[in-house]
Structure formats: C-alpha cells, structure tokens
Structure 1
Amino acid sequence: MGPVEFIVLAFPEEQLRVPAVEAVMGLRKTGVVRLIDGLVATRTAAGEVLAAEFDEFVELRGLLTGRDVARLIGPEDVQEAAGLLERGNCALLLLVEHVWAEDAAIAVRAAGGRIVGSVRIPPDRVPVDTRTGAA
C-alpha cells in the first residue's frame, strides 16, 4: 500500500462545485489515487456542523464503492475539518491512498524502512510553478 492522506477540500457556501468533484473522480478513474473513505462536512451559517455520506449527493453517488472502501473518517475528523471552514461553507473530506507511490513504499518496507511522515506544502508557498517553470 502507498502513503495514505486525509485531505479537506473546502467550498464556499454550502454547495459542492461539480467541476472539482469531477476532477477528484477523474483522479480515481486514472488510478493515481485510491479513494478509501469520504464524507461531506458542512458548517452551517449558524455554526452547526453536519456530516453526510457521499451517496446523499447525486454528483458523488457511487464514488465510494468496491472492496477497498473502509469507513475510517470519524466524528472527530469531521469536527476538526469543520474547524477549518467558515460558517456557511462545506468540504469534501477524502482519505486517499497515493497509488502512484505504492512501488516506492513497498521497496522501502522491503529494505526495512517505513514511511514516517509527510507534509503537504500549500501551493502559495512554492515559488515556482513546477508545471510551467514560471515564477
């Protein structure tokens, strides 16, 4: 198994954005990542925190299927993610395996090593656009 990451994708208002959802679905279809679990979290305008399964949304229905799915995102994860949201916003909570890194992870473990950490660097902290080379 490759490295696993918990990702929170926030959206303004209490509405998912279809192009972003389609992009996530596209990554799953290409095999770059494996979706292990997911929920939708909402912080209402009144500050209430709500969680919903993907199947409650037409655009997410069927995204979490198959034998590899595990229900690992719990209420404490929802509360922590909701703490990142402004009132009246929602987020996709995703637990993904980075399938592209699986071979390297297997080789590291076979050599007696282990993955001990990972840090996501926000795009605004990277001075060069690695896709174009522009600053």
Structure 2
Amino acid sequence: MGPVEFIVLAFPEEQLRVQAVAALGDLRRSGAVCLIDALVVTKTAGGELLAAELDEFEELQGLLGGRDAARLIGPEDVAESAGLLDRGNCALLVLLEHLWAAEAAEAVREAGGRIAASVRIPPGRLAEVKAGLAALAGAPSTDASEA
C-alpha cells in the first residue's frame, strides 16, 4: 500500500468548481492515486456548515468514479476542515492513496523503515526559494580570498 493522505482543497466560493474535481478524476483514472473517500464541505455566507457526498451534486456525478473503500471522512474531519474556511467558501475533502509511491513504500517497510514525517511545501514558498537561489548564483562572489 502506498502513503495515504487526507487533503483539504479550499475554494473561495460556495460552489465547488467542476474542473478541480475532474482533475482529481484524471489522476484516479491514470492510476496515480486511489480515491478512498471524498466529501464537499460548505460554509455559507450566513455561517451555516453543510457537508455532502459528491454524488449529491448532479454536475459532479461520475467525475471521480466509484469509491474504492468505505466512507471514512467523518463529522470530526468536517468540523476541523470548516475551521479553515471563510464564510461563503467550500472545500473538497479527499482521502487518497498515492499508488505511484506504493512500490517504494513497500520496499521501505520490508527494510524495517517507516515514514517518520511528511511536510507539504507550498508552491509559492518553493518559488521563493528557487528565485533566491537563482539570485545567489548570479550575484558576485563575496569570498574574502578573492579580494
């Protein structure tokens, strides 16, 4: 089994965008991930919290295909995820297995290893670091031995 991850994808509207769900469906169909569960959470402009299965939305039906396991995202997950949303926003909660990493994960387990930590680096932060490194590579040397 590959690493399993719970992801909260937040959107600045009360309606989930079809293209976001379709992109996840494409990953599933390619074999990169296995969708275990998914749920839509909405915090209305009035502050009401709503949770619904994807198949409850006509325009989203079939985009992710069938579920590969039981419904595992529960009320606690919904409540915690709602804390990340502003009023008038929604989120897609996704529990998925990274099939692309399954072989490597199995090899690590067979060697007695385990994932001890995992940190997601935001794309904006990575871009900042790359820009900083590029600037350093192009900057004149400040090595005292060259003076």
Q: TM-score, normalised by structure 2?
A: 0.81
Q: In structure 2, what residue type is equivalent to 1:126?
A: L
Match of 2:48 in 1: 48
Alpha carbons of 1:27 and 1:129: their partners in 2 closer, same or farther (altered >3 Å)?
farther
Question: Secondary structure of the residue that 1:127 maps to in structure 2?
Answer: helix
Q: Find the aligned partners of 2:44 and 2:21 in 1 and give their Cα distance.
A: 20
Question: Secondary structure of the residue that 2:105 maps to in structure 1?
Answer: helix
Q: Does the 8 Å contact 2:25/2:65 carry over to 1? A: no
Q: In structure 2, what residue type is equivalent to 1:99?
A: L
Larger helix proportion of the pair: 2
Q: Find the aligned partners of 1:45 and 1:121 in 2 and give their Cα distance.
A: 30
Choose 96-105 or 51-60, whichever is displaced more: 51-60
Q: Does the 8 Å contact 2:18/2:60 carry over to 1? A: no
Shift of 1:64: 5.1
Q: Find the aligned partners of 1:21 and 1:59 in 2 and give their Cα distance.
A: 10
Match of 2:100 in 1: 100
Q: In structure 2, what residue type is equivalent to 1:20?
A: A
Q: Does the 8 Å contact 1:37/1:64 carry over to 2? A: no
Q: Does the 8 Å contact 1:38/1:64 carry over to 2? A: no
Q: Find the aligned partners of 1:75 and 1:64 in 2 and give their Cα distance.
A: 23
Q: Does the 8 Å contact 1:54/1:64 carry over to 2? A: no
Match of 2:19 in 1: 19
Q: Find the aligned partners of 1:65 and 1:117 in 2 and give their Cα distance.
A: 30
Instruction: After TM superposition, list the pairs within 5 Å mapping 1:2-41 onto structure 2.
Output: 2-41=2-41
Aligned-CA RMSD value: 2.0
Structure 2 unaligned residues grouped into runs of 5+:
136-147
Shift of 1:126: 0.2
Q: Does the 8 Å contact 2:7/2:95 carry over to 1? A: yes
Q: Structure 1 vs Structure 2: percent identity of aligned residues?
A: 70
Match of 1:123 in 2: 123
Shift of 1:79: 0.9
Alpha carbons of 1:57 and 1:129: their partners in 2 closer, same or farther (altered >3 Å)?
farther
Shift of 1:59: 3.2
Q: TM-score, normalised by structure 1?
A: 0.88
Q: Find the aligned partners of 2:126 and 2:2 in 1 and give their Cα distance.
A: 24
Between Structure 1 and Structure 2, how many residues are aligned? 131
Q: Does the 8 Å contact 1:7/1:93 carry over to 2? A: yes
